[in-house]
Amino acid sequence: MAIPVIDFSKLDGDERAKTLAQIANGCEEWGFFQIVNHGIPVELLERVKKVCAECYKTEREPLFKDSEPVKLLNELVESGGTEKKLDLDWEDVFTLYDDNEWPTNSAEFKQTMKEYRQELKKLAEKMMEVMDENLGLEKGYIKRAFAPDGQPFFGTKVSHYPPCPEPDRITGLRAHTDAGGVILLFQDDEVSGLQCLKDGEWIDVQPMSNAIVINTGDQIEVLSNGKYKSAWHRVLAKRDGNRRSIASFYNPSLSATIAPAEDSEVYPKFVFGDYMTIYSQQKYQPKEPRFQAVSAM
Ligand SMILES: O=C(O)CCC(=O)C(=O)O
Ligand SMILES: [Fe+2]
């Protein structure tokens, strides 16, 4: 079984209705799907791959060698410990925001990632309009709900999952659902590792050149009143290959009030910043207690 692959360009032609239905199915049944022909130039994607690989090699790899997961995994192996898994991620990561300090001085990295983030933000908004339509909401509903002040929280997380000598003793990224709205992931063409949970089974999110993986977070679950459930996912550590993944998060602004678009007995109304406070303590746990905790605030 593989997650759905959808030709996004077909939204603009005779096959619009069919494509809308495919996206609705991806949202309702999977919470994860891949889009191709999404309009992001391949040339730009190639540059993104290049600058991220260079940044990793020159600036990140030396740091990863001295990082906590490497140290703790070494200690575990040396101690002959029988503890099965470390409660830690085998991941090198940094996140770009509109106003953050760049992790590197490379002008090419900055220019490329700035361009990429602008394109991805537009793609996220297009996808949100498709969700509006599929959910029977007014065009622009999700965008306005996320950012009444016009300032959504848009971050781009650049990750590498380096080769791991003991892939059974640590996870690349522990299982979780995403806190926010719509997530657009540009993952490695070759090295696999990302899996999503579907009907109790872990399914590989198959690497595919130039595709963008879409998944929905907890806030889309709330807005859609549970029609679009945020799916659990994780990244396995691998003995070989250095997996790249670039995840862009289109989230509500921290001050936005999030509530189901229709009356709901299941989902609460809350301020997104309060949700994030709870999420930061409970990311790797089920979401339901988070909804309960935030409704009590
Ligand atoms: O690296 C990946 O493929 C997934 C990343 C992810 O799930 C996350 O950052 O929330
Ligand atoms: Fe995630």
The token pair that represents 275 in the structure block: 């949700």
Measured distance CA(146)–CA(39) in Å, rounded: 24
Single pTM value for the model: 0.96
- Classify 92 in phi/psi space as left (phi over 0), alpha (psi -120 to 50) or beta: beta
Q: Is residue 232 part of a domain?
A: yes
The predicted model gives 32-50 an average pLDDT of 98
Measured distance CA(99)–CA(83) in Å, rounded: 41
The H or E element containing residue 244 is strand 243-251
Q: Is residue 8 part of a domain?
A: no
Measured distance CA(194)–CA(236) in Å, rounded: 6
Q: Is residue 2 part of a domain?
A: no
Vertex 112 angle, CA 109 and 113, to 5°: 80
Query: Contacts by 269-275 with C-beta closer than 8 Å and gap 24+?
Result: 269/295, 270/294, 270/295, 270/297, 271/297, 272/153, 272/219, 275/179, 275/218, 275/219
Q: Is residue 174 part of a domain?
A: yes
How far is the centre of ligand 2, averaged over its atoms, from the C-alpha of 222 (Å)? Answer: 17
Provide the pLDDT for residue 48. Answer: 98
| Diameter of the chain measured on Cα atoms | 63
What does the pLDDT look like over 145-173, one tens digit per residue? 999 888 999 999 999 999 999 999 999 99
Q: Is the CB of 73 under 6 A from ligand 1?
A: no
The predicted model gives 34-39 an average pLDDT of 98
Q: Give the ligand whose atoms come closest to the C-alpha of residue 187.
A: 1
How far is the centre of ligand 1, averaged over its atoms, from the C-alpha of 247 (Å)? Answer: 6
pLDDT at 246 over 70: yes
**Nearest Cα residue to atom 6 of ligand 1:** 247
Q: Is the CB of 195 under 6 A from ligand 1?
A: no
How far is the centre of ligand 2, averaged over its atoms, from the C-alpha of 178 (Å)? Answer: 5
Q: How confident is the model at residue 84 (pLDDT cuts 50, 70, 90)?
A: confident
Measured distance CA(126)–CA(120) in Å, rounded: 10
Q: How confident is the model at residue 99 (pLDDT cuts 50, 70, 90)?
A: confident
Looking at the 3D structure of the chain, how many domains does it have? 1
How far is the centre of ligand 1, averaged over its atoms, from the C-alpha of 283 (Å)? Answer: 12
At position 293, the amino acid (one-letter code) is A
The predicted model gives 174-186 an average pLDDT of 98
At position 41, the amino acid (one-letter code) is P
pLDDT at 81 over 80: no
Q: Is the CB of 283 under 6 A from ligand 1?
A: no
Strand order from edge to edge, sheet including 233-236:
171-176, 233-236, 194-198, 201-204
Provide the pLDDT for residue 105. Answer: 81
Q: Is residue 250 part of a domain?
A: yes
Q: Is the CB of 34 under 6 A from ligand 1?
A: no
Q: Is the CB of 187 under 6 A from ligand 1?
A: yes
- Classify 31 in phi/psi space as left (phi over 0), alpha (psi -120 to 50) or beta: left
Q: In the chain, what percentage of residues exceed pLDDT 90?
A: 91
Residues in the chain: 297
Contact 52, 246 (CB under 8 A): yes
pLDDT at 276 over 70: yes
Q: Is the CB of 159 under 6 A from ligand 1?
A: yes
Query: Contacts by 61-64 with C-beta closer than 8 Å and gap 24+?
Result: 61/92, 61/162, 63/92, 64/92, 64/160, 64/162
Q: Is residue 274 part of a domain?
A: no
> Rounded to whole angstroms, what are the CA distances from 261 to 24, 135, 257, 264?
17, 10, 12, 8
Q: Is residue 249 part of a domain?
A: yes
Residue 15 or 296, more confident: 15
What does the pLDDT look like over 205-220, one tens digit per residue? 999 999 999 999 999 9
CATH assignment of the domain containing 46: 2.60.120.330
Provide the pLDDT for residue 83. Answer: 66
Q: Is the CB of 120 under 6 A from ligand 1?
A: no
Q: What mean pLDDT is reported for the chain?
A: 95
Q: Is the CB of 173 under 6 A from ligand 1?
A: yes
Contact 97, 251 (CB under 8 A): no
The predicted model gives 17-29 an average pLDDT of 98
Provide the pLDDT for residue 296. Answer: 87
- Domain residue limits at 60: 17-78+87-254
The token pair that represents 51 in the structure block: 């600058």
Q: Is the CB of 218 under 6 A from ligand 1?
A: no
Q: Is residue 12 part of a domain?
A: no
- Could you tell me the sign of the dihedral formed by the alpha carbons of 177, 178, 183, 186, in that order? negative
Atom of ligand 1 nearest to the CA of 215: 7
**Nearest Cα residue to atom 1 of ligand 1:** 245
Provide the pLDDT for residue 102. Answer: 80
Q: How confident is the model at residue 101 (pLDDT cuts 50, 70, 90)?
A: confident
